[in-house]
């Protein structure tokens, strides 16, 4: 049978996925469901080494479809954040312009507009818990690789080495694997975010905590935006300030982003004229991370390699548009299907088919993300009104 021929081909192979983000872990799960020998090498020291950031919403025909294919829908339903998909939009004076909290909570996994939110750390746990024991090798930051025979020898920062027949780069946008696949570099979108984490918002910025109300809050005025999201249990907040800045602004700004006082002083000045309630958010913040928003060129492609490829941000970084995690998961599904398909006689053709589909999907989403980023980070009066109308229609 063709299946057994191809399955045998993969069964002899050891697959190394570099990076245990949503893309890499989903791929590991899907391949293990087909009996493939796979390990995930993750830089984090352990599962709880760092807060994974705010929540993400999964979409009907992408993230949720993959969750279903991975046999994890029950687990997802037990862990997602009910009601957190609601949006509240306020203006710079703190007035509410648009509010979904007045509407009831529609929970309908059969409705293509239902986009349930899940805490990133919780999603990671759902995926990790679905894997065979010791699939994820923690504290394994890949630093380099060498081609040996038909495979790869991987070297990690902790001094260990391993060999694999096929390597999948799922290690995000600063991917160490990507240069082995292509030399196409990222470009700067023009937008920069400053991300802030608040550990005790209920105590340290109670008014903002109430406004967020365990869902999405977005504040916009001409040229600047602030978006706030709760953690899975609602106890913490993550916020992003967004605007357009020149390239290398982070380095050239003279701001020490490790100094909360310096960043606070900058933000208070930058948001001068906004309701002081926003400053309580900045004051309560325990750590700031500046994030230049980069992307890989939309028309990118490369010659497929025989035993290495990329998924998720490592393959097609794009500005945030609510699609990144969803797309990484679709990559995982498509690649797992190609690698275990009866249709291909060799791994390279399977990878080539996956990559062609991946580029096609990424161009469409990347275009939308590029069109949306300026409106989001540096809205005009017209785009603020557009957002208000959009939210009112949801």
Ligand X SMILES: Cc1cc2nc3c(=O)[nH]c(=O)nc-3n(C[C@H](O)[C@H](O)[C@H](O)COP(=O)(O)OP(=O)(O)OC[C@H]3O[C@@H](n4cnc5c(N)ncnc54)[C@H](O)[C@@H]3O)c2cc1C
| Short-list 366, 354, 385, 82, CA closest to 221 | 385
24: left (phi over 0), alpha (psi -120 to 50) or beta: alpha
| Short-list 317, 81, 279, 315, CA closest to 182 | 315
Q: Which is nearer to ligand X, 80 or 240 (CB)?
A: 240
Give yes or no for residue 227 binding ligand X (CB under 6 A).
Answer: no
Q: At its nearest, how many Å lie between ligand X and the CB of residue 11?
A: 25
Q: Exposure of 10 by Cβ count < 10 A (0-12 exposed, 13-18 middle, 19+ buried)?
A: buried
Give yes or no for residue 366 binding ligand X (CB under 6 A).
Answer: no
Give the ranges where 154-252 is alpha helix by DSSP (H): 178-181, 201-204, 206-212, 249-252
- Per-residue x/- mask for ligand X, residues 126 to 165, rule CB under 6 A? --------------xxx-----------------------
Q: Which is nearer to ligand X, 76 or 240 (CB)?
A: 240
Interacting span for ligand X (CB under 6 A) from 91-99, 130-138, 200-208, 314-322? 314-322
Laid out side by side, the sheet with 14-18 consists of 136-137, 37-41, 14-18, 166-169, 308-310
Q: Which is nearer to ligand X, 52 or 307 (CB)?
A: 52
Give yes or no for residue 169 binding ligand X (CB under 6 A).
Answer: no
Give yes or no for residue 18 binding ligand X (CB under 6 A).
Answer: yes
Interface residue with ligand X, options 16, 31, 41, 330 (CB under 6 A)? 41
Interacting span for ligand X (CB under 6 A) from 204-212, 281-289, 311-319, 383-391? 311-319
CA torsion, ordered 140, 142, 144, 145, to nearest 10 deg: 80
Interface residue with ligand X, options 291, 305, 361, 374 (CB under 6 A)? 291
With CB under 6 A, what is the number of residues at the site for ligand X?
33
DSSP state of 44: S
Give yes or no for residue 119 binding ligand X (CB under 6 A).
Answer: no
Give yes or no for residue 323 binding ligand X (CB under 6 A).
Answer: yes
Q: First vs last Cα of the chain: how many Å apart?
A: 49
Q: At its nearest, how many Å lie between ligand X and the CB of residue 121?
A: 11
| Short-list 15, 7, 21, 11, CA closest to 325 | 21
Q: Which residues bind ligand X (CB under 6 A)?
A: 18-24, 41-44, 56, 140-142, 170-172, 176, 193, 195, 240, 291, 312-314, 320, 322-326, 328
């Amino acid at each position: 049978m063709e299946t057994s021929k191809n399955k045998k081909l993969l069964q002899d192979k050891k697959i190394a996925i570099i990076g245990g983000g949503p893309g890499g872990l989903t791929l590991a799960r899907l391949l293990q469901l087909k009996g493939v020998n796979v390990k995930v090498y993750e830089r984090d020291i352990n599962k709880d080494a760092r807060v994974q950031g705010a929540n993400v919403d999964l979409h009907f025909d992408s993230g949720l479809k993959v969750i279903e294919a991975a046999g994890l829908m029950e687990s997802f339903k037990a862990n997602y954040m009910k009601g957190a998909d609601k949006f509240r939009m306020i203006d710079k004076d703190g007035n509410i312009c648009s509010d979904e909290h007045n509407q009831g909570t529609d929970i309908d996994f059969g409705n293509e507009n239902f986009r349930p939110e899940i805490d990133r750390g919780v999603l990671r746990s759902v995926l990790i818990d679905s894997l065979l024991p010791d699939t994820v090798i923690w504290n394994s930051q890949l630093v380099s690789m060498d081609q040996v025979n038909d495979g790869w020898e991987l070297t990690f920062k902790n001094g260990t080495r391993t060999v694999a027949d096929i390597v999948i780069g799922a290690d995000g946008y600063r991917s160490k694997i990507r240069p082995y696949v292509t030399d196409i570099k990222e470009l700067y979108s023009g937008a920069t975010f400053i991300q802030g984490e608040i550990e005790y918002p209920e105590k340290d910025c109670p008014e903002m905590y109430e406004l967020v109300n365990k869902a999405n809050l977005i504040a916009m005025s001409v040229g600047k935006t602030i978006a706030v999201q709760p953690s899975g249990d609602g106890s913490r907040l993550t916020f992003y300030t967004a605007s357009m800045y020149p390239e290398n602004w982070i380095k050239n700004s003279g701001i020490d982003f490790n100094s909360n006082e310096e960043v606070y002083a900058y933000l208070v000045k930058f948001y001068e004229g906004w309701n002081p309630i926003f400053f309580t958010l900045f004051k309560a913040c325990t750590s700031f991370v500046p994030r230049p928003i980069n992307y890989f060129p939309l028309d990118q492609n490369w010659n497929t390699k025989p035993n290495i490829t990329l998924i998720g941000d490592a393959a097609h970084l794009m500005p945030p548009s609510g699609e990144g995690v969803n797309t990484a998961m679709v990559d995982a599904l498509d690649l797992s299907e190609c690698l275990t398909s009866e249709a291909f006689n060799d791994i390279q053709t399977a990878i080539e088919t996956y990559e062609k589909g991946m580029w096609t999907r990424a161009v469409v989403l990347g275009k939308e993300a590029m069109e949306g980023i300026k409106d989001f980070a540096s809205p005009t009066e017209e785009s603020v009104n557009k957002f208000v109308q959009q939210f009112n229609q949801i």
